[in-house]
Structure 1
Amino acid sequence: MISPTPEECVAALEQMPDAAQQQAFLSQSGVQPSLALVEACSRRIRELCYKDPASAEILANTNLHLASLVDTPTAWALANRSRAQVLYTMRRAAAAAPYFERAVELFTEVGLELEASRTLVTQMDNLIYLSRYDEAAKLESRARATLEKANDVHYLARLETALGNLYYRLDRFQESLAHYDAARPGPDDPFSPAAIGMGRGHVLADMNRFDEAVEAYRTTKRHCQQHGLDLWADIADHGIARMHFLRGNYSTALRMLEETRKKHESRNDSRRVGMVDLERVEIYLQLNLFEDAAAIASRSFDVFDRLGNRYEAAKCLAFLGVARFKLFNDCDAERAFLRAREILAQEGNETWVAVVDLWRARLSMRRRDFPEAQQLARAAADAFERQNVPVWAADAWVLSAQSLHALGESAAAVEDAQRALRGLEGFHAPWVSYQAFNTIGRLRELEGSTEAEELYLRAVSELESLRGNIRLDELRMSFGKDKYEVYENLVNLKLNRGDFASAFDFVERSKSRTLIDLLERNLETVWDSSADESPRLQRVRKIREELNILYSRVNDVASRTRVSVDEVKRREHELMELLREVGEEKSGWATLQSMDLPNVAEVQQMLDVDEVLVEYYSIGDEFQAFVIGADDYHVVRCVTTSRSIRASLRGLHFQLSKFHLEPLYVQRRAMALLAATQHHLQELHLQLIAPLERFLGRRRRLIIVPHQSLHYVPFHALFDGARHLIDVYEMTYAASASVLKICRERRSARSADAQDLILAVADELTPHIRDEAEALRQLLPSALVFTDSEAGEHNLRRYGSSAATIHIAAHGIFRPDNPMFSLLRLGGSWLNLYDIFNLQLGADLITLSACETGMNAVSEGDELLGLSRGFLYAGASSLVVSLWNVNDRSTALLMRRFYEELRNGATKSGALRQAILDVKQDFPHPYYWAPFILLGKS
């Protein structure tokens, strides 16, 4: 009988699922333990490390068992090294360290200096992951001397790679890149090119050589796929996903990370799953998905804590604290911050301790514990200055100044704010400097100084130097309402001086950023590269992505790259030049990028004599109203308060929610429900319309531009005790006068014989959608009608760009926690806001006959997000959308009457008004007739 070779034995062992079965096989098969078998096992483990680390770990445990049976120093050295290599590959560096040390010791003991030096190379890299840089550097000379003497090209390449990794971690990027470029792996070494490529990608990214970085990752991925190095291919994908995240391409980054995560999960590689999840937490925080971010951060902490990766565990806790802070779970946030701080302090990471303390200062500010906030902010500022992180130091000084302001210590507050500005010299960080100017301006205004206006204007200038997608809401440094407080301060200053026209200009400058910022911040998703192949347009996209990375790095404590002002300004200058040129190729897009904001006179010019625009604006807790007609202009100060509006809205929404109860209850209580609802609508009328009613005159068309909580008010349903506003006026709504101007100036590119498009998706809960679709088919005989599974995204894309009118009757879901993922059901799938941004729709009117399609999340600064924003960007001039869950039957009737009126020649606002009045006769309660509003062109 022929005994199996060591390689055949190892192959047999690989077929068994765990080390226990492998060891049982060895004892029962009669295989003789030998050094040759340990060597064969070690070779196979080295091959498996980068392909199947879980199997490599099982075999490494069996190899240690074999070494114990052979019991020679060489066998023990090989087995220890194999175990160390597996743990190193799985990034369990602390666990790997003693195995490396023992292997080197044993190889040296038996005189195998070459093997000891080879082990030292990987040990160097492992020490780097433990931040033991000096120890790693000291190993180079011993390893290099032996490897050069033996002309071991393979391990010399690995040594250069390890040195590249070392200098990368030390922020010495040029030296790091030089070592990577000096690495010359042999033709039979597929692993080193993978490690070199990944290292080069990281360095090039940190050197702001973005295209080269992405190319390095992609080249590495191709190499790994060609050589079966699936793990490394997935790691390269992680690098590419990170670049997408930095560029603001969140949907692509999330998709790639999810795919990579599944692959790591299939290998039971918990650390790399955790690293992917840590990336996802950052993105979810950026997208305001705070619940999801908190859940993933908590789960990832458990992984890193179990693995002994204390730095990563502490980051998870810090991010968990941020998520809890954003969710106003202050006690949970404080616990997470304190625990993260404890770990980071033990690790000696002063910079991240300061980061956590800065968040704790924000928490103290919210609790109005201003002395503690000031103490924490000042301590953080001092720490950032010691660690040479000037932008974060400036941010901490601003927070200290704000705390001192709250404490009434004006002189000290000004001093700290000015210190922040001095610290920012040489840096491009307008998201910090505008806060400093605003803080000093507020203090000067309280002193009665004329300098206040100039300081506010400086703050606005700094703030507006940030364009839409330059991560104004940077996840680690969310400035909350302070971004728009400066506009409130300026508007208030102008109104107090009687400069009403200038006050309106700044109202528009704050509100107009809403839509424009949204469009630009999601540049990846709004940009259809297949349609925009122009080199100039592609260059615009590329520069914006690069600026996104540069701006975020200036404010990123974890970034090791100093971003120069010249580097930023060079790209900004090129971008502005391109934006001036781009209008020739895509004028509508260029308009949205850099539109001229309308002043009072220009708003008057776009209004007909029978139109009046009412734009509300909140300063602190008080609403002001700007009433603009074609020939007149008025300002009504202190119309009402946010507190009063919220109380009335709570009552109104409570009454509307009763329609989700049993139909029998609604039927029996119909009169009481109507009276209660009209009571709250009358409260709102008294607050919002009565104080300015005398300025509305006899005009018949009313345009409402809400602000903050007023976006949730159904103005057309407001009741004066006898009539609702819709009984008197044709009504439309707009996010701002600037957005209204965009809609009115939009010119449809569709042909004169364009067909209408109807998409209807019904189910057992909404059977009247079929009746609605059939009624519209009769009214619009030339329309393309698709129902149920055929009413999918594919047909919207195919026919939507040329349709005259688009009507969508389907389920809509508004996500208040993250409006970017609000949904609209089409066919068998759901469209979110990202999908809608990618549509190209030329329709003059789009009707979303579904629930909550007009709902928006209203955050500080009047930043609005919802399905309607997506369709306005996609090309709609006018949108009919709903403010709450609609009734199936009354909606079908309203839509039929709306399109009948349009067919008879009515304007959109006139048609919707008449349809509402007709439905109101049969369904008196506003729940049935008031959910739909018209946005945009009337």
Structure 2
Amino acid sequence: MAQSEADELLNLGLEHYKQSQFRAALRYWQQALTLYREIGDSLEDRLAARQGEGNTLNHLGKAYHCLSEYQKVIDSHQQSLRIAQEISDRVIEGDALIGLGKAYDSLGDYQKAIDSHQQSLRIAQEIGDSLGDSLASRIMAGNALNGLGKAYYCLDEYQKAIDYHQQSLEIFQEISDSLGDSFDSRQGKSDALNNLGNTYQSLGNYAKAIECHQQSLAIRRAIGDRLAVGISLNNLGNVYYSQKDYHKAIEYYQQSLGIAREIGDRSGEGCYLGNLGSAYKFLGDYHKAIDYHQQSLRIKQEIEINDRRGEGISLHNLGSAYFSLGDYSRAIDYQQQSLAIAREIGDRLGEWLSLNDLGKVFLKTNQLVDAEEKLRAALEICETLRSSLVNSDHQVSLFETHKTTYRLLQQVLVVQENYEIALEIAEQGRTRIFAELLRERSSKPDEVMEIANQGSAATSKRAVQIAQEQNATIVEYSIVEDDIYCWVISPTGNITFRRANLTPLQAQNKTLTDLDDIILKARVSIGVDERDKNGKKIQCESNEIIDAYGRYPLLQLLYQILISPIADLLPPDPHTPLIIIPNYGLFLVPFSALQDAKNRYFIEHHTLLTAPSIEILELTHQRQQSLSRVNQSALVVGEPTIDAQFTQPPYNLKPIPAAKEAAEAIATLLQTQAITGEMATKARILNQMKTASLIHISAHGLLEDFHESGIPGTIILAPDNTDNGALNAAEILSLTLNAEFVVLSACSTGKGEITGDGIIGLSRCFILAGVPSLIVSLWDMGAYSAKRVMIEFYQNLAQGDDKATALRQAILKAKEYFSCPADWAAFTLIGETAPLSLGTPIPEPRRRTMVFPSESTPQEIRDAFFNLLETSNLFSKHLPSLEQLIAQSTDTPQDIAQRIEQWCESRPTIQANMANKLSQMGAGGTDSQPDADIAAEFNQRLEKNRIRLGSPPASSMNQTEK
């Protein structure tokens, strides 16, 4: 009777626990515990009662954990552990160890947590070995792996954390697949997803983090786990906080705080208060931030056994808030307290945060020696954390998270006028993982390791050596908090430091934070289609587009910022190579098209190429020297058939006009056969890439990461029976190529995720696969202009030009024919510029008249016409004749398009530029407005541009007025 009553109380407690009613659960379990302890009628009854007692103590421990009463957690699980060992109940013993591990984790004693979870995992494996994979042993193993992952996450060993959480997730998924969803399996799955989300956030992989947290939240809501729902909401807030969306973060934190207070979750309440404080700090409400942080700190100090890690975080946050208020003495005091706790509990990430912020305070107060000391200590932690990660993409993400330390240390060194040492730190901050992976894949690792062993301390000497060997000038940019640093290394060995000219920004009431938007708008001003973070098309103001004199205001603004301060240091001879090493958003700057005050383009005076870093420049040079040149075959791919998946939304890809013709022309020049259409399958192209010495691909490029490899970038090849033809960047990375040179003449093959060392994506993967030199496109340049540039480029190579010179001459030639920079400035050379042997001289190709693509819609023709009108100076000689295009109110869209086409036919240069612009347009739209409205809108826009370019108002504009 007592046994069944105790069992019923135990189950009642479980029901309340699942609903996050922890105090009620405690009452039922305490009553059950009393009854179990009173049972003793027989040996068999007593054994069952002892099992019930052990189980109940474990459940009590879980409830006390949810209430942050950690000493009671430990007492309960230790009592359960003794009972389990006494009666040899391995399941209860394993569960007790998991509970102890979680308690130690919450208290910051991560080694004890790991020991407990490892013991539990061994027990689960032993149960499975002796009894088969029982449900209890599998759940225990999944929970133990989750606990290990969380402990290693807190120790900043992110690779181990990911491995353990993924193993746990697989176990719980297998349980659900084979036995159906239970509360335990769903809870375990949600915990694994939650912990994976936290780890991905720490690595800076925010999209993956949000995906994991949303999946976890959905499960937790479905099972009614209120405590866990609050945690998931908080963690989603953390991701949005990391993305600087503070208002959205606050929404999630407030929801979490409400739940924590409803269910009496004191630990969660302290955490969520602190997070609200951090969000309000970044919104500039420092007093509210301090109030929240002080509430958070009090709770963490009041919890039965102090939450040392949480206390350290609160102290750090208070220091950060006081720094923002300008109270530097308090900021230092709180950060030093936080640092002491982080070191005491082995919290390396917390130690980095405190050291980084102490360096920031000391820099602000001009205590430069102390600032340098703290920031160098923080960098040592960054290197230690990075080296513990196996996955290179996780290493890149971690480097991006820690980039502020590299920037702060550069600032400290520049203030001290230690410019060359600052250059070394700038190089070190350019994601060293890229260089290390390149070393690993080198065919001469000894030579490459000699470079590696020199370390960043030899950066300036190596830069001078490269400049001298290649007779090149190197310009390295580094973006710091509110400045852009420039180092110019000349062939004579001089290293000169300059700052970018931010005065033009300040004159427009803008700051460095606006630079990325300016870069994108500069690209839009020359006709490139760019979207904001919400997918909305970016538009330029009327004063930001080309004027009647051929001046591009934003290209000139970027020239003033980036080039003017160093113009006197650049080589006067236009044939001397100029190697530009950008940083972050500067990788998207079309340097070739930047304009000086006299409307002259940068490419007119300099032979340009780019590199991710000085270190990579040297390593690609080593690769160039080590290549085998036995096989001189060329692989040319053009206009592969597009799988139906990519012709539908959201991709809407369509055949690139003239791409097949261009590929065949280039193949003829290279004395090979182009692979086009349905023959250009991924399997075939991958196979031929392995042996080709030159690879030229003209196809669509996307930024998607279809294989979820962490590396964005995909080339769309032809499908076959096995796949859709999407060649992912990660697949390229897995290759070992012997190609000396690659050309990616596709849509935006030069774009990807922007990081410190450059763009992660296709270009990076080809270099890592062994290619020392490649040309990529920063946007879709149009098939006709791309063909002209490439044919000219290969002809120049055949005449003995090096790659940079050949590309410059080809661009200048195309510029004579195509007025708009969007039609010639997209191609950029990355890496080595050494000449390329192409065998016999290449014949001059037959020129063809460029006509409008037959599939162009009326809307596309109008869009291309206005794009060209607003981004080039082609129309300055034809302004009077533009009146011929004025639409009548009765005109259809087809009439307007036909009139534009006929008008262009008598003007071959404009016709060619229009044909090329139409080849860039992508998926075309269809007209949905009434014909009269389309005609009126066309006339208004036409007249606006005519007046902008200096023409008097048209006399017949009233024809379409209503």
Q: TM-score band, normalised by the shorter chain?
A: 0.5 to 0.7
**What is the CA–CA distance in structure 2 between the aligned matches of 1:800 and 1:216, rounded to whole Å?**
51
Q: 1:929 offset after TM fit, Å?
A: 1.5
> Is residue 697 of structure 1 aligned with residue 571 of structure 2?
yes
- Between 693-702 and 886-895, report the one with greater CA deviation: 886-895
**What is the CA–CA distance in structure 1 between the aligned matches of 2:260 and 2:393, rounded to whole Å?**
22
SS of the equivalent of 2:101 reads: coil
Match of 1:402 in 2: 320
> Is residue 709 of structure 1 aligned with residue 617 of structure 2?
no
Change (3 A) 1:309 1:825: same
**What is the CA–CA distance in structure 2 between the aligned matches of 1:398 and 1:706, rounded to whole Å?**
33
Equivalences for residues 64-75 of structure 1 within 5 A:
none
Match of 1:907 in 2: 802
Matched-pair contact (CA < 8 Å) for 2:81–2:96: no
**What is the CA–CA distance in structure 1 between the aligned matches of 2:685 and 2:135, rounded to whole Å?**
38
SS of the equivalent of 2:552 reads: helix
Percent sequence identity over matched residues?
19
Matched-pair contact (CA < 8 Å) for 1:809–1:849: yes
Matched-pair contact (CA < 8 Å) for 2:473–2:579: yes
Match of 1:766 in 2: 656
Matched-pair contact (CA < 8 Å) for 1:122–1:162: no
Equivalences for residues 325-724 of structure 1 within 5 A:
325-345=241-261, 349-380=265-296, 387=305, 390-426=308-344, 428-449=346-367, 451-452=369-370, 454-456=372-374, 458-459=376-377, 461-466=379-384, 468=386, 470=388, 483-511=402-430, 514=431, 516-517=432-433, 588=448, 595-608=455-468, 610-631=471-492, 632-640=494-502, 642=512, 645-646=515-516, 648-656=518-526, 678-699=552-573, 700-720=576-596, 721-724=598-601
SS of the equivalent of 2:525 reads: helix
Match of 1:810 in 2: 699
- Between 94-103 and 384-393, report the one with greater CA deviation: 94-103
Q: 1:82 offset after TM fit, Å?
A: 13
Q: Which amino acid aligns with 1:505?
A: E
Deviations 1:578-613 (A, max 9, x none): xxxx99977657966984454334312211474211
Match of 1:247 in 2: 159
Match of 1:778 in 2: 668
Match of 1:921 in 2: 816
SS of the equivalent of 1:324 reads: helix
**What is the CA–CA distance in structure 1 between the aligned matches of 2:85 and 2:354, rounded to whole Å?**
53
Q: 1:717 offset after TM fit, Å?
A: 1.3
Deviations 1:606-644 (A, max 9, x none): 114742112222343222322221113322234225256
Match of 1:22 in 2: none
**What is the CA–CA distance in structure 2 between the aligned matches of 1:805 and 1:218, rounded to whole Å?**
53
Deviations 1:33-79 (A, max 9, x none): xxxxxxxxxxxxxxxxxxxxxxxxxxxxxxxxxxxxxxxx8999999
Mark the runs of 5 or more structure 1 residues left unpaired by the alignment: 1-72, 146-155, 175-201, 532-581, 662-670
Deviations 1:377-432 (A, max 9, x none): 45545655665554554443333222212222222222222223333445655543
Match of 1:881 in 2: 776
Deviations 1:884-931 (A, max 9, x none): 234234334433433333343321212222332333333321222222
Q: 1:731 offset after TM fit, Å?
A: 0.8
Deviations 1:279-335 (A, max 9, x none): 453355356454564465345334324424233222211212112323444333213
Match of 1:898 in 2: 793
Change (3 A) 1:924 1:674: farther
Q: 1:357 offset after TM fit, Å?
A: 3.3
SS of the equivalent of 1:207 reads: helix
**What is the CA–CA distance in structure 2 between the aligned matches of 1:219 and 1:912, rounded to whole Å?**
66
Match of 1:733 in 2: 610
Equivalences for residues 181-196 of structure 1 within 5 A:
none
**What is the CA–CA distance in structure 2 between the aligned matches of 1:686 and 1:103, rounded to whole Å?**
78
Matched-pair contact (CA < 8 Å) for 1:623–1:638: yes
Match of 1:792 in 2: 682
Q: Which amino acid aligns with 1:509?
A: Q
**What is the CA–CA distance in structure 2 between the aligned matches of 1:518 and 1:351, rounded to whole Å?**
41
Equivalences for residues 38-49 of structure 1 within 5 A:
none
Q: Which amino acid aligns with 1:752?
A: R
Q: Which amino acid aligns with 2:240?
A: R
> Is residue 850 of structure 1 aligned with residue 762 of structure 2?
no
Deviations 1:165-212 (A, max 9, x none): 2133123999xxxxxxxxxxxxxxxxxxxxxxxxxxx999923998x9
Match of 2:198 in 1: 282
Matched-pair contact (CA < 8 Å) for 1:205–1:213: no
Q: 1:715 offset after TM fit, Å?
A: 0.6
**What is the CA–CA distance in structure 2 between the aligned matches of 1:208 and 1:845, rounded to whole Å?**
54
Matched-pair contact (CA < 8 Å) for 1:656–1:677: no
Structure-2-length-normalised TM-score: 0.66
Structure-1-length-normalised TM-score: 0.67
Tell me the number of residue pairs that the alignment of Structure 1 and Structure 2 aligns. Answer: 754
Q: 1:142 offset after TM fit, Å?
A: 8.7
Match of 1:825 in 2: 716
Change (3 A) 1:111 1:308: farther
Change (3 A) 1:497 1:293: closer
SS of the equivalent of 1:820 reads: coil
Q: Which amino acid aligns with 1:719?
A: Q
Mark the runs of 5 or more structure 2 residues left unpaired by the alignment: 64-72, 105-109, 506-511, 532-544, 643-653, 719-723, 834-962
Matched-pair contact (CA < 8 Å) for 2:743–2:774: yes
SS of the equivalent of 2:737 reads: coil
SS of the equivalent of 1:162 reads: helix
**What is the CA–CA distance in structure 2 between the aligned matches of 1:229 and 1:162, rounded to whole Å?**
14
Change (3 A) 1:431 1:235: closer
115, 119, 122: which one pairs with 1:207?
115
SS of the equivalent of 2:316 reads: helix
Change (3 A) 1:418 1:173: closer
Q: 1:869 offset after TM fit, Å?
A: 2.4
> Is residue 165 of structure 1 aligned with residue 95 of structure 2?
yes
Deviations 1:771-815 (A, max 9, x none): 34433432334689586465326752x554554233333332225
Change (3 A) 1:167 1:469: same
620, 637, 642: which one pairs with 1:743?
620
Match of 1:264 in 2: 176
**What is the CA–CA distance in structure 2 between the aligned matches of 1:215 and 1:758, rounded to whole Å?**
56
Q: Which amino acid aligns with 2:805?
A: G
Compute the RMSD of aligned alpha carbons: 5.2
Change (3 A) 1:326 1:501: closer
**What is the CA–CA distance in structure 1 between the aligned matches of 2:513 and 2:85, rounded to whole Å?**
73
Q: Which amino acid aligns with 2:488?
A: V
